[in-house]
A and B are shown apart, each in its own frame.
Chain A
């Protein structure tokens, strides 16, 4: 009875009450930020006395915000490209390789996902201090590629496991070179996995804060680093505007990805 929706009775009301409260708890802060970013109050009074685009104009007038957004996009795209390329190759080894220690290799590939980010951040910061990669684009990309790598490997491995290798072998028997067969038969077949990998990898980098804080210099900052810096000074509504743009962009990428995935899979 406890797992039959129709027979819950009074218990159902209680469960719904908690569920609605939790949903509000999850949703309200996000809506709240968006509302504040259009509100006219410098002191973040809520509900805002009137509505304005002033904070977005201030944001646009400050070239440092735009630079940060561009850096974020650059780092995100490069890390995603690198993570997907290395992840694709690694997936072939993980799925098709027959060597000892394959389980260990897989565990290593997934570790960046479970290791506390702060430990990795401090470690890579120490290394990059020594080799002079702190505050460089290369440093950002390398660090974010490591973090994004597991998120690229998982969907690619999953889709490669679901792909029947005999189709690729058939192409080779028909005269294609092994590389040709992979490029023309296998890659198109696992395109959804590749696509998910790219989207996840990009978003991991785009939203990443902790490593970026260590990696950043006054001249090279990603958007989250800039927001972090601003937050430590005051709670200006300009941050609400920047956060809203950041969130809107993430949701846009996810929605576009969901749509595209549906189209590709047809």
Chain B
């Protein structure tokens, strides 16, 4: 009997110190998020009409399409640009590697608004990029590089690059260089060695980084809001606008729920196949 009585206590041994944090997260994280999601099926009246409206209204469907399109392009471009950097970074002499890593870290930790502001100025009609291109005679009219999805894509790629490079760098570094030598000894040419050895071995890093960037891009707010336009919104902006300006909490929560579900599903894929976030 005495042994039985002590079982529940043993099951909670050492749990006590977690209680304050648990209370904080329950009150100010779990409850608000859950009650927000509930509003999507309760307001203005119980039912799924908010979701139906989101998918049926072309404006909202367009926003969903834009969001996935931008996230996809940003991920693809970041992978293409990031792969060579991560590759060289993994094998270059340490003193150069330290410098490149420092640049990546500084850029990562520079305030998001400051970086976005830089792109707003650089990309505007009278900005450095347009004036330079015009001076070079490459274009006669300034290009519309900002207040559209082009601007959003450039700005987001800039922000996401470090998140691709770092995991890729880690996974390429972990590859034993002798496997590549073995490939060469067995008669593989450079292209074949790349395609059949290096690429498959670094694929988990690329997939993990790519998935993370894709997920982060889906929910991005600041950069699309500043570099994009109201007519080509992305999902996070739409949620903010529905809630803050239009006070349409039902629809806003439904959009938030879609974002949340996609995000968590993709993270689950990542944890399942690539062993969690490193």
Taking Cβ atoms with an 8 Å cutoff, the residues of A that contact B are: 1-5, 8, 11-12, 14-16, 18-19, 22-23, 25-27, 29-30, 32-33, 36, 43-44, 46, 86-87, 89-90, 92-94, 96-100, 105, 108-109, 111-112, 114-127, 142-143, 145-146, 149, 153, 203, 207, 209-210, 214, 224, 227-228, 231-232, 235, 239-240, 243-244, 246-247, 250-251, 254
A residues in contact with B180, CB < 8 Å: 1-4
Which one of A16, A27, A207, A227 lies within 8 Å of B88 (CB-CB)?
A16
A3 touches B175 (CB 8 A): yes
Range of interface residues on B (Cβ < 8 Å): 35 or more
A8 to B92, CA, bound (A): 11
Complex CA–CA separation, A29 to B238 (angstroms): 28
Cα of A138 to Cα of B177 in the assembled complex, Å = 54
| Known contacts A22-B82, A30-B106, A92 near B256 by CB under 8 Å | no
Contact B29 A116 (CB under 8 A): no
Check if B25 sits within 8 Å of A146, measured CB to CB: yes
* Of B92, B113, B115, most A-chain CB atoms within 10 Å: B113
**Cβ-based interface call for B228 (8 A):** no
What DSSP secondary structure best describes chain A's contact surface?
helix
- Closest residue of chain A to B179, judged by CB? A3
Please determine whether A127 and B31 come into contact, CB atoms closer than 8 angstroms: yes
A120 to B29, alpha carbons, bound, how many Å?
Answer: 7
Known: A19-B88, A93-B16. 15 other contacts (CB 8 A): A1-B180, A4-B91, A18-B85, A26-B158, A86-B20, A92-B14, A117-B221, A120-B33, A122-B240, A123-B35, A123-B256, A126-B39, A146-B24, A240-B117, A246-B113
In contact, A122 and B252 (Cβ under 8 angstroms): yes
Against A, the Cβ 8 Å flags (1 = close, 0 = not) of B72-92 are 000000000110110111111
Smallest Cβ-Cβ distance to B10: which chain A residue: A98
Chain B residues packing against A (C-beta within 8 Å):
10-18, 20-22, 24-25, 28-33, 35-36, 39, 81-82, 84-85, 87-93, 100, 103-104, 106-107, 109-122, 124, 126-128, 158, 161-162, 165, 172, 175, 177, 180-181, 184, 190, 193-194, 197-198, 215, 218-219, 221-222, 226, 236, 239-240, 243-244, 249, 252-253, 256, 259-260, 263-264, 267, 277
Contacts A89-B17, A90-B21, A123-B35 given; indicate if A1 touches B240 (C-beta within 8 A): no
Chain B residues, CB < 8 A from A11: 190
Q: For A114, what are the chain B residues with a Cβ–Cβ distance below 8 Å?
A: 215, 263-264, 267, 277
> B252 contacts which chain A residues (CB < 8 A)?
122
Residues of A within 8 A of B106 (CB): 27, 30, 251
A10 (CB) vs chain B CBs: closest residue? B190
Chain B residue at minimum C-beta to C-beta distance from A228 = B113
